[in-house]
Amino acid sequence: MDKQHFFLKALGALCLTAIVILCLTFLWKSPTQPQYFSVSSTGRIFAKPDIANLTLGFQTKVLPTAAEAVDENSTKMNEIVKALKGLDIEAKDIKTTNYNLNPVYDWTDNKGRQLKGYQVNQNVTVKIRDLDNIGEAISKTAESGANQVGNVSFSIDDEDELKTKARNEAIAKAKEKAEDIAKTAGMKLGKIVNVYENQVNYSPQVYRSDMAFGMGGAEKIEAPDIQTGENEIKVEVTITYQVK
């Protein structure tokens, strides 16, 4: 029994020794974990927009009944949409984005809250593909009764080619930046192991106006001069290198 106990202890010690030797051998042969270095840069391309987006609409006065408010709004908005179509703006580019029928209340100390009447507010978003028609769209709809006009923004219908140019510029700048930093820091860059892209959309808002009630439809209105400027297409890129 003592011999068997001694044999088992000896065998256990040998196994433990073997495990320790294997672990030390693995650690000695294991390569150093690779080091990584990341750098970011931005590519920018400027181009003239080819689409204008315009929000306009009509808000009624406070009228005695909901039916009267709805009727007045419908009449005016039909005239506004007709004016837009008269500028060769297609129905698919005119979209209702807001329609509200609300009760309006007065408050007095003697009687508390009392119903004053009803008011309708409706807005449409218009996509204008002929940029020469922006000013006309504003003036003609105002003549037709629109008393809410604004939120003009400009976009580019197909940005893929411009984004590609911006991306290529960002990558080239990031590589140049990485090489400069590596040279200054005394590092040696290896292969690129990852590229991350972050696109930034930018569509500037350039015009906002809420026209006074009763102004729309009163007289001929001179078309405002709206400047389209240029849109910025921006792509941010982060490149990760393995350091040798």
Segment 1-29, tens digit of pLDDT: 555 555 555 555 555 555 545 444 444 44
Task: Over range 58-62, report the average pLDDT.
Answer: 96
Let me know: does 57 contact 98? Beta carbons within 8 Å.
yes
Question: Residue ranges of the domains in the chain?
Answer: 1-30, 35-45+161-199+238-243, 49-157+203-229
Q: What CATH architecture is 49-157+203-229?
A: 2-Layer Sandwich (3.30)
Each residue's pLDDT tens digit, 111-152 = 788 899 999 999 999 999 999 899 999 999 999 999 998 888
Would you say residue 51 has pLDDT above 70?
A: yes
Instruction: Return the higher-pLDDT residue of 208 and 83.
Output: 83
Instruction: Determine the pLDDT at residue 181.
Output: 92
Task: Over range 101-109, report the average pLDDT.
Answer: 91
Let me know: does 115 contact 175? Beta carbons within 8 Å.
no
Would you say residue 96 has pLDDT above 80?
A: yes
Percentage of the chain beyond pLDDT 70 is 78
Instruction: Determine the pLDDT at residue 209.
Output: 47
Please provide residue 33's backbone torsions phi and psi, each rounded to the nearest 5 degrees. Answer: -60, 135
Would you say residue 200 has pLDDT above 80?
A: no
Each residue's pLDDT tens digit, 172-188 = 999 999 999 999 988 89
Task: Over range 157-166, report the average pLDDT.
Answer: 91
Would you say residue 93 has pLDDT above 60?
A: yes
Taking the C-alpha atoms of residue 92 and residue 70, their distance in angstroms, rounded to an integer, is 24
Instruction: Determine the pLDDT at residue 1.
Output: 52
What mean pLDDT, rounded, does the chain reach? 83
pTM higher than the cut 0.75: no
pLDDT bracket for residue 210 (50, 70, 90): very low
Instruction: Determine the pLDDT at residue 199.
Output: 66
Q: If you search the block for the tokens 């028609």, which residue do you land on?
A: 133
Percentage of the chain beyond pLDDT 90 is 59
Tokens read off for 66: 């909901």
Would you say residue 110 has pLDDT above 90?
A: no
Q: Which DSSP helix (H) or strand (E) runs through 65?
A: none
Task: Over range 39-64, report the average pLDDT.
Answer: 94
Taking the C-alpha atoms of residue 68 and residue 87, their distance in angstroms, rounded to an integer, is 29
Cα angle 33-184-238, degrees, rounded to a multiple of 5: 60
